[in-house]
Amino acid sequence: MRSETTVQSGGLHRILYVEDDADIREIVRMSLEMVGRYTVAACESCADALQVVDDFRPDLLLLDVMMPDMDGPSTLRKLRRRDSAVDAPAVFITAKVQAGDMAQYKQLGAFDVIVKPFDPMALPERIGQIWQSYREGEYGDAG
């Protein structure tokens, strides 16, 4: 269900990814590992993510929004209670983006949102940009 591959990339290394659809999960995992050279923990549910998060210590959380039992926002709330994921930026990945949804996602704790369908060749770069802007904001706050 999960695999870990270590690749260096501008301070962002470890991505915890939760997605219920096995096919999409596989494609995203391949994209992030093989194109982006990130280390990915790909989980199929919130419960699965909670099991690995403490060992994995993610730099960034990538969450599908519509999932059975525990959706993306709920999963995020659960993960935030863990020290290992308390300050990692969260990115929602979803097919459901309509007017007003974006603001709602941000309100629910997402740092950014990626819309399906996405190009797996461009996805790692997009994640890198999001990470970059997150770090800039963080340093800005600190400095």
Beta carbon nearer to another protein, 1 or 136:
1
Q: How far is the CB of 7 from another protein (least distance, A)?
A: 14
Residue 118 is classified by DSSP as -
Residue 10 is classified by DSSP as T
Task: Select the span of 64-72, 78-86, 125-133, 135-143 touching another protein (CB under 8 A).
Answer: 64-72
Q: Which of 58, 32, 63 is nearest to 128 (CA)?
A: 32
Beta carbon nearer to another protein, 76 or 88:
76
Is 48 one of the binding residues for another protein (CB under 8 A)? no
Q: Which of 128, 119, 111 is nearest to 36 (CA)?
A: 128
Is 4 one of the binding residues for another protein (CB under 8 A)? no
Helices (H), ranges, the chain: 22-30, 46-56, 72-80, 101-107, 123-142
Among 4, 54, 69, 125, binds another protein (CB under 8 A): 69
Beta carbon nearer to another protein, 54 or 69:
69
The answer to whether 47 and 1 are in contact (CB under 8 A) is no
Beta carbon nearer to another protein, 36 or 89:
36
Is 53 one of the binding residues for another protein (CB under 8 A)? no
Tokens of residue 100, six digits: 């007003």
The answer to whether 118 and 126 are in contact (CB under 8 A) is yes
Q: Site residues (CB under 8 A) for another protein?
A: 20-21, 23-24, 26-28, 30-31, 34-35, 66-69, 71, 95-96, 98, 116-121
